């Protein structure tokens, strides 16, 4: 294994960490893990945006440009980090032991995912047909890289945004050619940081080490989750960026910290650049976040004009973070080649049968054995949590997640290009899988915490 | 060591009694359900791992798209290459092979519309039929790899793209 394979990922982590430290105050030692796991995904997302900027400016892959911009950003952030004289809080010995134990257990739980993934070194069908094909075209295609976006290649989904291929291009930057180990590492890293972030979020919500470890262990023990996560698809990126966005939105709502506002916007921008589903989710999250930020004051003494300003600031930041997606969709995407509006089409109408199939298939999918009882667990948690699941400080999570699911189900009904039975079979499980970490996080927060910041042991 | 053991405690140091009695019955039930799910899925994972490992020993990992490797040096100046086959393109196995071939040959784009391209790949199950067609159309064979893929040059290419 080449040592160079790790260097781009390490640069991204360092960039992300400096930016996180500058944006949000890490005051408590319990916030350190969440800061680290956010840094990894933020850094890789920024790297992806820088690579995209290279294709916009230089019009092709340019190794020197990409490395220079990365190093420039990193040096600037390090300078600002030193200038602000930031330092991490001292970690008490007990928490050091807790964090080390959790890191050890999570790493151990990630090993089975790596072992299973190595049986398929080139990933699953979409890995070679969509994501890694595009990454190869971007890296080796010279000035003709846009050939991969022509409508005749509709099977490769040319309208899909390119966050994952750009991350893989960044991963290959110091290597000769395109070794398949890099996309595999990207998938494994995102599997690890998704599980890690889930643990860190719950830990920062004052859950004990043991309780906070349960949801990531549920994920990493589920064969179906680790199969899809290590298949080199973009779904694991949706899992991660959805979780990161929701956490930052909750924090922004609670703390009204401009740093969390910027982070929320950045993570939503990255989520939107993952896949069209991510774009939909980012728009839904943005709408709810702006409405809640503007119309639901979280503390006394907040004037309507102040709240309006915050809402407008979030919208402006979101616009900036969504720029890569907007630019891609306007200037590069050939548009969705696999769309027929069933509501207006005479040949392929959206019928009642289609709606029945969707609802029936959702039920069949939820109780399918491949989920190993995880949906039963989440539904039980929601039932036991009842009202607390929808309490005010976390209501944003269910609002966004359920609105997203309803929107996707409606899209299945609306778009009649594909036969519904085949389409549901090949895609619904991935939509549900991308919701899993966020839903587990929501269930555990609502069941085991009172209002955020208070101790978790319930007196219900 | 004591710190590590303490850190594994389910209950944070809040001064309250550290046992299950400080949790409600629904929470305990939920945690038991979580434990069962983890246990069941770990067993399922182990079975799946062993099954796949056994399968790999009998049938090593194959990637049908590798049939198309070994042509990159000839195609390095081409953006597109035509693709001709006598196999059913709607067969899932063939669709998979085509997608993998596309991946292996990237950034060269495989195009089923062959008349426009200088190079054409013949992926025929019946090699004799392929040679017959090549001869009949006046195409120039350039390379045939060990897995039966024939690369030919089309002197009459319309050259719309290239």
Cβ contacts of A150 on chain B, cutoff 8 Å: 109
User: Which of A356-365, A380-389, B92-101: highest mean pLDDT?
Assistant: A356-365
Find the residue in A nearest to B60 (Cα): A119
- Average pLDDT (A387-410) is 91
Interface residue of B2, B5, B6, B8 to substitute, partner A, most A CBs within 10 Å = B8
Nearest residue on chain A to B77, alpha-carbon basis: A141
Judged against a pLDDT cut of 60, whether residue A99 lies above it is answered with yes
For A136, which of B27, B63, B106 is closest by C-beta distance?
Answer: B106
Q: Is the pLDDT of residue B10 over 80?
A: no
Residue of A94, A218, A372 with shortest CB distance to B3:
A94
Q: Which residues of B touch A145 (CB under 8 A)?
A: 107
Confidence at residue B14, expressed as pLDDT on a 0 to 100 scale: 47
The pLDDT value given to residue B160: 46
**B26–A447 C-beta distance less than 8 A:** yes
Q: Which of A66-75, A303-312, B40-49 has the lowest mean pLDDT?
A: A303-312
Q: A396, A250 in Cβ contact below 8 A?
A: yes
How far from each other are the two terminal CA atoms of chain A, in whole angstroms? 53
B-facing residues of A in 122-161 (CB < 8 A) are: 122, 125, 128-129, 132-133, 136-137, 140-142, 144-145, 147-148, 150, 152-153, 155-156
First-to-last C-alpha distance (Å) of chain B: 68
As a whole number of angstroms, the distance between CA A12 and CA A353 comes to 48
Contact list in B for residue A133 (CB cut-off 8 A) is 99, 102-103, 106
Contacts of residue B127, Cβ cutoff 8 Å, sequence gap at least 6: B148, B150
Give residue A295's pLDDT band: very low, low, confident or very high (50, 70, 90).
Answer: confident
Q: What phi and psi, each to the nearest 5 degrees, are found at residue A445?
A: -65, -45
Average pLDDT of span A187-191: 96
User: To the nearest whole angstrom, how far is the Cα of A151 from the nearest Cα of chain B?
Assistant: 12
Residue B66 has pLDDT above 80, yes or no: yes
198-257 of A, contacting B, C-beta below 8 A? 206, 208-211, 214, 217-218, 221-223, 226
Residue B120 near residue B83, CB atoms below 8 Å: yes
Give contacts of A199 with chain B, Cβ < 8 Å. Answer: none
Question: B53: helix, coil or strand?
Answer: helix
Q: Which residue has the higher pLDDT, A270 or B1?
A: A270
Contact A416, A342 (CB under 8 A): yes
8 Å CB contact of B10 and A132: no
Q: Which two tokens stand for residue A319?
A: 């616009």
Which residue in B14, B24, B100 is closest to A455 by CB distance? Answer: B14
Averaged pLDDT for residues A138-149: 93
Q: What is the mean pLDDT of chain B?
A: 81
Token pair for residue A124? 């699953």
Tokens 């698809």 label which residue?
A: A233
Q: Is the pLDDT of residue A145 over 50?
A: yes
Q: Tell me, what DSSP letter sits at residue A341?
A: B
Q: Could you tell me the two tokens for B83? A: 């693709």
Task: For B116-151, give one letter per residue: b (16+ CB within 10 A) or e.
Answer: ebbbbbbbbeeeeebeebbeeeebeeeeeeeeebbb
| Confidence check: pLDDT of A170 > 70 | yes
Residue A419 in tokens? 């036969």
**At how many degrees (to 10) do helices A31-57 and A163-171 cross?**
90
pLDDT value for A347: 87
The more confident residue out of A319 and A206 is: A319
**Other C-beta atoms lying within 10 Å of the C-beta of residue A423:** 18
- Using a 10 angstrom Cβ sphere, with 0-12 exposed, 13-18 middle and 19 or more buried, the burial of residue A337 is middle
Q: A254 vs chain B: nearest CA distance in angstroms?
A: 23
Tell me what pLDDT residue A297 has.
62
- Find out whether A155 and B92 touch, Cβ atoms under 8 Å: no
| Chain A positions in Cβ-Cβ contact with residue B22 (cut-off 8 Å) | 457-458
Whether A211 contacts A98, CB under 8 Å: no
| Chain B residue with Cα closest to A155 | B99
């Amino acid at each position: 294994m080449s040592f160079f394979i790790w260097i781009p990922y390490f640069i991204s982590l360092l960039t992300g960490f400096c930016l996180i430290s500058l944006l949000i105050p890490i005051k408590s030692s319990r916030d350190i893990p969440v800061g680290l796991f956010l840094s990894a995904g933020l850094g890789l997302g920024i790297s992806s945006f820088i690579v995209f900027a290279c294709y916009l400016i230089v019009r092709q892959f340019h190794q020197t440009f990409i490395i220079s911009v990365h190093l420039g950003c990193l040096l600037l952030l390090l300078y600002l980090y030193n200038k602000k004289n930031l330092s991490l809080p001292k970690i008490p010995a007990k928490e050091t032991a807790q964090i080390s134990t959790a890191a050890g257990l999570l790493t151990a739980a990630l090993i089975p995912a790596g072992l299973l993934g190595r049986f398929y070194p080139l990933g699953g069908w979409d890995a070679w047909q969509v994501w890694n094909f595009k990454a190869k075209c971007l890296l080796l295609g010279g000035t003709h890289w846009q050939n991969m976006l022509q409508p005749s290649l509709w099977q490769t989904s040319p309208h899909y945004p390119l966050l994952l291929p750009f991350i893989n291009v960044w991963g290959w930057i110091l290597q000769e050619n395109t070794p398949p180990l890099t996309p595999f590492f990207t998938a494994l890293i995102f599997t690890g940081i998704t599980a890690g972030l889930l643990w860190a979020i719950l830990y920062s919500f004052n859950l004990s080490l043991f309780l906070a470890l349960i949801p990531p262990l549920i994920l990493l023990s589920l064969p179906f989750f680790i199969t899809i996560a290590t298949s080199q698809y973009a779904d694991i990126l949706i899992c991660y960026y959805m979780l990161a966005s929701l956490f930052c939105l909750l924090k922004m709502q609670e703390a009204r910290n401009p740093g969390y506002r910027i982070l929320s916007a950045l993570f939503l921008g990255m989520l939107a650049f993952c896949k069209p589903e991510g774009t939909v989710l980012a728009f839904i999250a943005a709408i709810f976040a702006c409405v809640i930020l503007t119309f639901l004051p979280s503390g006394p003494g907040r004037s309507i004009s102040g709240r309006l300003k915050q809402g407008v600031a979030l919208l402006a930041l979101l616009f900036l973070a969504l720029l890569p997606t907007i630019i891609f969709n306007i200037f590069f995407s050939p548009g969705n080649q696999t769309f027929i509006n069933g509501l207006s089409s005479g040949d392929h109408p959206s019928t009642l049968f289609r709606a029945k199939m969707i609802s029936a298939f959702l039920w069949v999918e939820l109780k399918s054995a491949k989920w190993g009882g995880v949906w039963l667990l989440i539904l039980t948690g929601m039932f036991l949590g009842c009202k607390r699941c929808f309490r005010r400080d976390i209501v944003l999570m269910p609002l966004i997640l359920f609105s997203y699911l309803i929107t996707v189900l409606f899209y299945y009904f609306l778009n009649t290009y594909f036969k519904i039975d085949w389409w549901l079979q090949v895609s619904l499980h991935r939509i549900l899988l991308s919701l899993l970490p966020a839903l587990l996080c929501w269930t555990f927060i609502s069941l085991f915490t009172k209002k955020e910041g208070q101790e978790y042991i319930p007196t219900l | 060591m004591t710190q590590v053991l303490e850190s594994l405690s389910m209950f944070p140091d809040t001064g309250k009694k550290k046992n299950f009695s400080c949790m409600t019955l629904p929470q305990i039930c939920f945690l038991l359900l979580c434990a069962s799910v983890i246990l069941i899925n770990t067993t399922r994972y182990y079975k799946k791992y062993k099954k796949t490992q056994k399968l790999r020993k009998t049938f090593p990992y194959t990637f049908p798209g590798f049939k198309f490797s070994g042509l990159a040096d000839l195609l390095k100046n081409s953006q597109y290459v035509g693709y001709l086959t006598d196999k059913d393109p709607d067969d899932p196995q063939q669709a998979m092979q085509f997608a993998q071939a596309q991946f292996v040959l990237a950034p060269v784009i495989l195009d089923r519309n062959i008349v426009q391209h200088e190079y054409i790949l013949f992926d025929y199950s019946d090699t004799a039929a392929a040679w017959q067609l090549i001869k009949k159309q006046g195409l120039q064979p350039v390379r045939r790899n060990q897995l039966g893929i024939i690369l030919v040059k089309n002197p009459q290419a319309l050259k719309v793209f290239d």
